Amino acid sequence: MKKEEDFFTRVYAVVQEIPKGRVTSYGAIANFLGTGLSARTVGWAMNSSSSSTKRVPAHRVVNSKGLLTGKHHFATPTLMQELLEAEGAVVIDNQIQDFEKIFWDPMKELKGKKNRSKSSLPPKQKTKSKSRLP
């Protein structure tokens, strides 16, 4: 399996955990997966999520300010907003209102998730520590 496919699978597993009516950000997912600088790659995973074998609620992933930056990857220009509003989110001018209240942080919400069965999350990637010269 290619490294990118493995990462996308791990992103999809996190996104499937987001409850209805809640949202998270590309960066929050990247941080949870131990790749804090990979928010853009999380976005690419969301863009490719329609090819996933499992349903991925990509509409629940927005940018760090609550903007619907991925809306142009949905079947219609308004579908992302419609899906969010059907779950109770308020969206005005492509931005989620009360973003802080409905924000779902995987670092907090999935903390301590021990069960690593097929349906649960893959293990976090290990990050390389920078060695310090004396």
Domains belonging to the chain, first-starting first, are 3-109 (1.10.10.10)
Question: What is this structure's pTM?
Answer: 0.80
Mean pLDDT across the chain, nearest whole number?
Answer: 85
Predicted local confidence at residue 126, as pLDDT:
45
8/10 Cα distance (integer angstroms):
5
> Structure tokens of 3?
């490294």
Predicted local confidence at residue 38, as pLDDT:
92
The model's confidence at residue 134, banded by pLDDT at 50, 70 and 90, is: very low
Predicted local confidence at residue 4, as pLDDT:
62
